[in-house]
Amino acid sequence: EMWRLARSHASIAAHTMSAAPPAMSNVRPLDDVSNIIDLDALHKELEQARSNVEMWMARRELSMKEQVAVHKTNMAVAEEEYVSLVEREKDLAAAAEELARRQEYQQAELDTLQEEAAQAKELGEDLPQQLQVLREQVTTEKDELERESTKVKGDEMVKAQMLQAHLSAVDLYRTRLGLRFEIGDAEELRFFYRHVDPADHEREFMVAVRVVDAGGYELMDCDPDMGDAAQRLLAECNRTDNLSGFVRGVRKLFRESVAEEEVAAVAVALREKAKVSAPSYAPVDEPEPEPEPVAPRTPFNTKPDDMVPL
């Protein structure tokens, strides 16, 4: 409205100037229109109008920017919704396809069950006869199972008796002959003997053998060392596969070694005694040494030949 008012004032001023008759001599020329129009007021009005227009344009521009921002936001939301709808459509399509496959599979299973039901119905007619055959088979298998159970119980009883016999033999070897067994770190089998030395029943003698890959045994240790005699016994054991004979033979070697030690000790004692009691004036014939008394047979000096076979 201010703009229209300013244009209206300018139009009136121009019309007034153009309407003055040039021929009239008594009319003063309109060199200055300040008397007709207040230019300062008009300028203020124009400035006010321009300010109003600029303010309106700024508001309009701000409103347009806001509308553009809202439009962009709405477009982004719409695009997200569109993408979501597309994904939803894909999911629904996949679900529909999966549902179709399941229906097809269930239909196939239903057809199979119907066929099986038909076959079962056909077989049901022969069921009584088949049940009779199964009863006879069960009875036969039950009788066979009872016979096998009786046989197994008999075998277990025999095994228990054999185990008890072996345990008794092991206990006899341990208590009566002082023989015990032990597995060493190198997987060698160690045999420990007691009741070998009549002077010291608790003295232990040991021999150790190990199974070799090629078959047979090899000597790992012997305390006290029996030298080649133990090797010969082991060679005979490998030839005859008689480990029990080897164990008895080694015990016999240990007893012979102890007997030799006793004989040597007696000889030394006799020599010392002869030196002390010999007369200085004339030699005399030394009496023959009395035979060594034989110790009575006890569980501790039983000969190896009397041992129970391993």
Digit-coded pLDDT (tens) for 57-108:
999 999 999 999 999 999 999 999 999 999 999 999 999 999 999 999 999 9
Q: What is the pLDDT of residues 164-185, one digit of tens each?
A: 765 676 666 667 668 888 888 8
**Whole-angstrom Cα Rg for the chain:** 66
Q: What is the pLDDT of residues 247-278, one digit of tens each?
A: 999 999 999 998 988 888 888 888 888 887 65
Copy the structure tokens of residue 65. 């920017």
Full strand arrangement of the beta sheet holding 189-193: 179-183, 189-193, 205-211, 217-223
Q: What is the pLDDT of residues 141-153, one digit of tens each?
A: 999 898 888 888 8
As a dihedral over the C-alpha atoms of residue 149, residue 155, residue 159, residue 164, rounded to 10 degrees, the angle is 80
Copy the structure tokens of residue 37. 């129009």
The position carrying tokens 């240790």 is 221
As a dihedral over the C-alpha atoms of residue 20, residue 23, residue 26, residue 32, rounded to 10 degrees, the angle is 40
pTM of the model: 0.39
Residue 63 identity: S
